[in-house]
Amino acid sequence: MAARLYRVILPVSDIDKATRFYAAVLNDQGQRISDGRHYFDCGGTILACFDPKADGDDYEPTPNPEWLYFSVDDVKAVRDSCIAEGGTPAPEDIHGAPAGEIHRRPWGEVSFYAHDPFGNGICFVQQESIFTGQ
């Protein structure tokens, strides 16, 4: 059997704020697992928002250094929710187009890039346009 990715840890500094943000953006309430962990099922892979201080650990979280990609049915609605809940459109250009705007990328994906309220890079891609390299 091939390995299967089942959980991704997303470091946050305020578990309640993270829960509100991701519940709105993912249109799913998720489940509180512990004082510092809230899980969202993203198509069989768990997005685990993790606030180490709230969970009793003695260190500050740091944002993931790379982007997390989500496929969604309505990229415009997700972008609207992301911005309304405190997400920030990514300021850089990607292949000549503003990353924070919905745009068809050269590889065919219709997407936008943003940062969550904790500095994690997130990208949302219209489901019909995802590119898997195949």
d(CA 131, CA 28): 24
Task: Quote helix, strand, coil % in the chain, to nearest 5.
Answer: 20, 35, 45
Question: Judging by DSSP bridges, how do beta strands 88-89 and 121-126 pair with one another?
Answer: unpaired
Residue 134 lies in a domain: no
The pLDDT confidence band at residue 79, using thresholds 50, 70 and 90, is very high
pLDDT score for 134: 82
Tell me, what CATH number does 14's domain have? 3.10.180.10
Residue 52 lies in a domain: yes
User: What tokens appear for 89 in the block?
Assistant: 């459109």
Residue 125 lies in a domain: yes
State residue 125 phi and psi, 5-degree precision: -120, 135
Q: What is the pTM of this model?
A: 0.94
The pLDDT confidence band at residue 96, using thresholds 50, 70 and 90, is confident
Q: What percent of the chain has pLDDT over 70?
A: 100
pLDDT digits (tens, 9 = 90+) for 45-70: 999 999 999 999 999 999 999 999 99
CB 55 within 8 A of CB 12: no
Mean pLDDT for the chain overall: 96
Average pLDDT over residues 26-35: 98
- Per this entry, what is the length of the chain? 134
Parent domain of 66: 7-129
d(CA 128, CA 74): 10
Q: In total, how many domains does the chain have? A: 1
CB 47 within 8 A of CB 22: yes
Best CA proximity match to 19, nearest among 9, 27, 29, 11 = 29
Residue 2 lies in a domain: no
